[in-house]
Structure 1
Amino acid sequence: MSPVKRQSIWSIYAWCRRTDELVDGPASALTTPETLDLWEQQLESIFAGCPLENYDVALVDTLQRFPMDIQPFRDMIAGQRMDLYRSRYETFEDLYLYCYRVAGTVGLMSTAIMGVDSTIYTAPWQQNKQPYLPIEEAIALGIANQLTNILRGCGRRC
């Protein structure tokens, strides 16, 4: 990856890590729904181009270089809200939703930066086609990684 793309992926990683630390980090016992409400307000500030903390500056820069939708970020915060109240899920559909929110979203966030190889669209007969965007695949990769992480954790605790 180019230095700009590396830095941009790092800014997403840093935001995701800080978000996860709210419910899984050393101070997680102090996290409330209101904490996550404030975090979501801070996210809105980032997307408005008004960083509140030093780490936010990097994400603002990323958004200027690689425009993306705020919804995957909001969805990740919704996953952290799920972490406040649950650690087990009755159905696979509930677990899948959780995995989408806390990991599938990372795939969506990264897609704008990683890009798509469009060299196959350079042939004259392909030039009018829109490049295929692997959105579902990005989500599936994140979910698979989260399920693997959960299974690895079960092996240690069970």
Structure 2
Amino acid sequence: REPRTLKPTKSPLCLPLSISFPFPLLVWVCPSRFPHLHPQISKARSPRDPPAPAAMSTSSTPVDASGEPIPTSSVLMAASKHIAVRCRPENVAFLNCKKKDPNPDKCLEKGRQVTRCVLSLLKELHQKCPKEMDAYAGCMYYYTNEFDFCRKEQQAFEEACPISE
């Protein structure tokens, strides 16, 4: 049975992608049309393909106007082990507060303490080892927060910024 085909746009950057579930389908992937979704993807690739060197070198931890890292999901996932160790008391206090009283207003200050702890930790990590943090967060972004694909970057990050209390 011949796969259904969706016509590509006039962009030369569109590539065919064959999908076989639940029926054969050929779609045209045009990363250039959706740069906000996949800014580093320049061609269709399998998740197991190694990242393109240009894609990984241009990715960096997003920072705000004051130079502090913006806590995107990839940045938070990359720093998750550090957060678990360094912000444990704040997180435990917040969870205990939520357990005692389900009223959200009662635990706002505890939540602010958790947020302050995480933001100060991210700022510290970004100042101490920006290159390794950028590489690890960029890899996590590229592979949609899959740790298994970023073990090399994780090891470099944890060597440059060891996990400590």
- TM-score over 0.5 for the alignment? no
Is the radius of gyration larger for structure 1 or structure 2? 2
When the two structures are superposed, what TM-score results if normalisation uses the length of structure 1? 0.26
Query: Higher helix proportion, which one?
Result: 1
Higher relative contact order at CA 8 Å, sep ≥6: structure 1 or structure 2?
1
Query: Higher strand proportion, which one?
Result: 2
